[in-house]
Amino acid sequence: MAEAKRVQRPLSPHLQIYRPQLTSITSILMRITGNAMAVAVMMIVWWLVAAAVGEDAFETADGFVTSWFGNLVLTLSLLGIWYHFLGGIRHLIWLSGRCLEIETAERLGMACLIGAPVLTLLTLLLI
Amino acid sequence: MRYLTDYKRAAGLGSAHGGTHHLWHMQLSSAALVILVPLFIFTFGSILGSSHEDVLDYYSRPIPAVIAGLTLVVGLLHFYSGAQILIEDYSKGLTRRVLILVAAIFSYTSIALGLFALVKLALQG
C-alpha cells in the first residue's frame, strides 16, 4: 500500500537545471569579480610594502607586477572591478526600491556587461 | 502611540535573527567605494611602472596616500563581508568557520600591511 502511494514529486530546483538568464549570469559574475579581487589586493599590497621596504624589494615586486603576467592579471582585475563597480551601483539603485521590474533589471544588467569593457579600455587609454 | 522606529520593529526578526547590519554595512561601504575605486584606479594606475624614487615621491603626497589608505580599508572590509556570504552559501560546519577565519585574517592582514607601507612611504618620502 505504502509502496503504491509513492509518486514522483518534483524536487526543489537546483542551480544546474535553471535556464541561464541575464539576471542570474550578472549576479554570478558579481560574486566572481568581487571575490577575485583578492588576487589584485595581494599584488598591490605586496608592491606597496616592497616600495616602503627598499630598492631591492621594490625591484622584485615591481618586476613581477609589471611583467606580462602581472599586466594580464591587473588588466583582468581592472575589467573585474569595473564590472563590480557598475553592478554595485545597480544594487544600490535596487536597494532604493527602484528599477526592480525584470525588463529594467535586465537592461541595467546589459549596461554593466557592456559598460565594464568600455570603462576598462578607457582606463587603459588614460593611464 | 508607540515610539518605535521601523528598524527597531524589524530588528531580530527573520529566520537568521540578524543580518540588517550586514546589509547596511554593504550599502554604506559600496557607496563609499563608488567614489574611492575610480580615484584609486587612476592614482595607482598613473604611478605603476615608474621608478622607485618616483613612487616614493608620489606616495609621500597626502592625496594619493589617503586615497590608497581609504580604498584599502573600506575595500577590504567590504571584501570580507562579501566573502563571508560566499562562504556561508557554499559551506557548512567546521569548514565554514575555518574559511571565514581565513577570509578575516586575509582582509585584516592586508589592511595592516597596506597601512604600514603607506605610513612608511609617507614618512620617508
Within 8 A of B114 by CB-CB distance, chain A residues are 44-45, 48-49
Query: Which of B27, B48, B110 lies closest to A92 in CB terms?
Result: B27
Residue B125 contacts A, CB cutoff 8 Å: no
Residue A90 makes CB contacts below 8 A (sequence gap 6+) with A26, A99, A108, A109, A111, A112
Confidence at residue A3, expressed as pLDDT on a 0 to 100 scale: 61
Neighbouring C-beta atoms of residue A119, cutoff 10 Å: 19
Q: Model confidence at A2, in pLDDT bands (50, 70, 90)? A: low
pLDDT value at B21 more than 90: no
Residue A75 in domain: yes
Within 8 A of A42 by CB-CB distance, chain B residues are 110
Cell, residue A74: 591587473
Query: Domain total for chain A?
Result: 2
**Residues above pLDDT 90, as percent of chain B:** 76
- Statement to judge: residues A110 and A73 lie in one domain: yes
Neighbouring C-beta atoms of residue B108, cutoff 10 Å: 13
Q: What is the pLDDT of residues A70-105, one digit of tens each?
A: 999 999 999 999 999 999 999 999 999 999 999 999
Q: What is the mean pLDDT of residues B34-49?
A: 96
Final residue before a domain boundary, out of A49, A66, A83: A66
**Residues above pLDDT 90, as percent of chain A:** 83
Domain that residue A45 falls in = 37-66
- Statement to judge: residues A78 and A126 lie in one domain: yes
- Statement to judge: residues A79 and A115 lie in one domain: yes
- So what CATH class is B18-124? mainly alpha
